[in-house]
A and B are shown apart, each in its own frame.
Chain A
Amino acid sequence: MSTLTSSASSASSEKSALPKKLVWHVLVLGVLLVLLYPVIWLISTSFKPATEVISTLALLPREPTGNNYAEVFDGVGEFGVLHYFWNSLMISAGAVVGNVVSCSLAAYAFGRLHFRGRGPMFGFMMITIMLPQHVVLIPQYVIFQQMDMVNTFWPLILPKFLATDAFFIFLMVQFIRTLPRELDEAATLDGCGPVGVFRHVILPLLRPALITTAIFTFIWTWNDFFSQLIYLNDPEKFTLPLALQLFIDQATQSAFGPMFAMSVLALLPIGLFFLAFQRFLVDGVATSGIKG
């Protein structure tokens, strides 16, 4: 966007500015290289044979191998990596659907409808954004235990259908407030009730906010470790973060290869999402302050 219009103003000073620009690019790229080194190192190590991991500091593998990947597809603990991948995917997909549906419903009510108690309820919702989850952690665990849901995916998905990620409600309320009310009024004149306005006017226009919500919900759920650690104890139900954790106690350098092969596989969906939606993600942060 803005980059296209850069320094078009003074073509004469272009030449003298060139070295300065070059220095800037070199500086930025240098900082980036240091910053992204751990990720590059992680990927490269996943292709190194066991002997090379220990013996050399060289970033690139001398004899790249796919053995580490073969090993994790074969089995980590009792299951192959695809099993854990599938579990992570199920939970993340469930969370995405839950958040998109429940938060958009609530956001429409807060953003457009008039009802008694709206102010206090909205205020309470804003407070829950800041609330550390630890104060509800143990009773929630007891509830899910009573319902026999520990060791299932429900404790990780069900809350999303009840709009507990209040941040996304806030995000969508902010978005809905920018939509012109005349559209609602026109639809109302055409005979739409609140449900019709939501379905035919708000929901289609809300799409950018829905996409932002979906992407962030996916990434956060995919990366989430704490809740999964608490609710899932059966290796059959393990997700990628939990299966990765199996490596922790045998984290000697000889086990680095497979461990990092699996780490890379675990980061892969996030990387792809990032490449596909980077503008969406970064603009989402810039305009709404998502903690990222």
Chain B
Amino acid sequence: MTQSVLSRPEVADSPPPATAARGRRRRGQGVAYLFLSPWIIGAALLTIGPMAASLYLSFTDYDLFSSPNWIGAENYVTMFTGDERFWHAAWVTTKYVFISVPLKLGLALAVALLLNRQRTGVGLYRSAFYAPSLLGASVSVALAWRALFSTDGTVDRVLASVGVDTGGWVDQPQYALLTLVALAAWQFGAPMVIFLAGLKQVPRELYEAAAIDGAGPARRFLSVTLPMLSPVILFNLVLETIHAFQAFTGAFVVSSGRGGPSDSTLLYPLYLYQRGFTDFRMGYASAMAWVLLAVVAILTALVFRSARRWVFYAGENR
């Protein structure tokens, strides 16, 4: 596994040797499809088929119990013009994504820089910082979070003891989302590990050359580290953004599945779940899923587009 995260997978590597007999190659093709058959079946029955079906259902009033009736774009029209909770969920999710992702990546980069040196114990520290990324997705940790941020919970009491009396965060609309942001940021270990791997690839000579030119630590960070790390930043940014749009467990546990208080933790996937699996408005939920896909796809495309301006690939002349 020496290949870096960013190396583009080359599909068409070496062409088959010219000496290969045609018959053997054809037989090889059959075997290839045999190896691929689980994936092909899965792709057809669990991905392509369902995608087409959910696109169709999004134009129906499907409710799981009676057969779907075509209602045109009504779900989409209702969503955009007549459903306040939809807009609310979209707004809550936007806040969540735009606060938690930069915070998480900022922490990841800061700690990666802190750990990026050759010292005893670095390997152990790296693992310890990574641990929350494995634990954070669980219901267990979400329950702990709910307790820590409740009224008279640890966070409330510690803040009160220094004179900041916010009360319990999970019970108050203006703070509840922040508990989810904190839970997301807490899991900065995974992007941190990726940043660390990226930092290791920065050639030392660049720092030495910059130092000779009289660049201080801040200058070296801005002119050497950040540009050299920009492909990794892009990778983490895209991955974490897509991930953040789909956050569910924390919001469900902290708000008992309701998205409260006052819908302040009603993340988009949670609202989609409520519509589909508690109201059984499956057509509507399908439409919501396609809107989510569209938003994520557009945002990802925009990030990649902007990347042309700020991502620097070594060996490229600028």
Contact = CB atoms under 8 A, between A and B. Distances in A.
Given A21-B119, A226-B248, A194 B28 contact: yes
B1 A174 contact: yes
B32 A114 contact: yes
Contact of A109 (B32, B246, B248): B32
A138 B38 contact: no
Given A6-B119, A105-B38, A134 B246 contact: yes
B138 A134 contact: no
Contacts of B187: 292
Contacts of B272: 134
Contacts of A180: none
A149 to B, nearest CB: 13
B252 interface: yes
Interface string B231-274: 00001000100110110110011001100000000000100110
Contacts of B253: 245, 248
* B contact residues, range: 35 or more
Contacts of A230: 273, 277
Contacts, number: 320
A50 to B, nearest CB: 14
A292 B134 contact: yes
Nearest to A164: B42
A285 interface: yes
Nearest to A216: B134
Given A1-B123, A134-B246, A114 B16 contact: yes
B57 A139 contact: yes
Contact of A225 (B7, B242, B248): B248
A292 B300 contact: no
Contacts of A109: 32-33, 35-36, 39
A292 B240 CA distance: 11
Given A139-B49, A285-B130, A163 B39 contact: yes
Contacts of B13: 177
* A contact residues, range: 35 or more
A290 B152 CA distance: 37
B54 A219 contact: no
Interface in A115-155: 115-116, 118-119, 121-126, 128, 130-140, 142-143, 145
Contacts of A7: 118-119
Contacts of B139: 223, 225, 240-241, 244-245, 263, 266
Contacts of A229: 252, 273
B210 interface: no
Interface in A250-266: 251, 253, 256, 259-260, 262-264, 266
Contacts of B111: 31
Contacts of B81: none
A32 B125 contact: yes
Interface in B34-63: 35-36, 38-39, 41-43, 45-47, 49-51, 53-54, 57, 62
B23 interface: no
Contact of A57 (B10, B12, B157, B256): B157
B1 A173 contact: no
A260 B153 CA distance: 14
Contacts of B140: 42, 244, 262-264, 266-267
B38 A163 contact: yes
A241 to B, nearest CB: 4
B290 interface: yes
Contacts of B126: 282
B184 interface: no
A7 B130 CA distance: 25
B276 A137 contact: yes
A287 B144 CA distance: 31
Interface string B97-117: 000000000000001001101
Interface stretch (A22-30, A64-72, A89-97): A22-30
A42 B144 contact: yes
